[in-house]
Amino acid sequence: MINKLKIITYGTFDLLHIGHINLLKRSKTLGHYLMVGLSTDEFNLLKHKSSILSFEDRKTILEAIKYVDFVFQENSWNQKIDDIKKYNADIFVMGDDWQGEFDYLKTECPVKYLPRTSKISTTLYKNKLKNAK
């Protein structure tokens, strides 16, 4: 029997690394269709973050990953409930560094926090690049 669940997750996915791939792979194993809300450049600025890669480049890279079925824009913190309803998501997934932050979504669907890959992050990469100059 095929698992017909739709999974939804969010992120910036800048400087793609093995931690991102592991999270996407683990997310996909929970269902059959993985949807990724990708933070726009404008939303990243509101979060006081900046990406090395543009939204369009990050989107193209995500769409090329075999675990990802659909990528859409994340424009604000508040859109998650609407997205869950709009895309008929069955499970909301985030890395466990967000543990508890999205529990309010449990009224819409189960929320699952997956372990992050240790000793790797985009911030670590950015710091290494900065220090290499």
Residues acting as catalytic residues = 47, 49
Decide: helix, strand or coil at residue 120.
Answer: coil
Strands in 12-55 per DSSP E: 33-39
Residues 6+ apart with CB under 8 A from 83: 8, 37, 72, 89
Q: SS3 for 49?
A: coil
| Cβ neighbours of residue 103 closer than 8 Å, sequence gap 6 or more | 111
Could you give the C-alpha distances from 49 to 41, 44, 109, 118, in angstroms and in order?
A: 9, 5, 28, 22
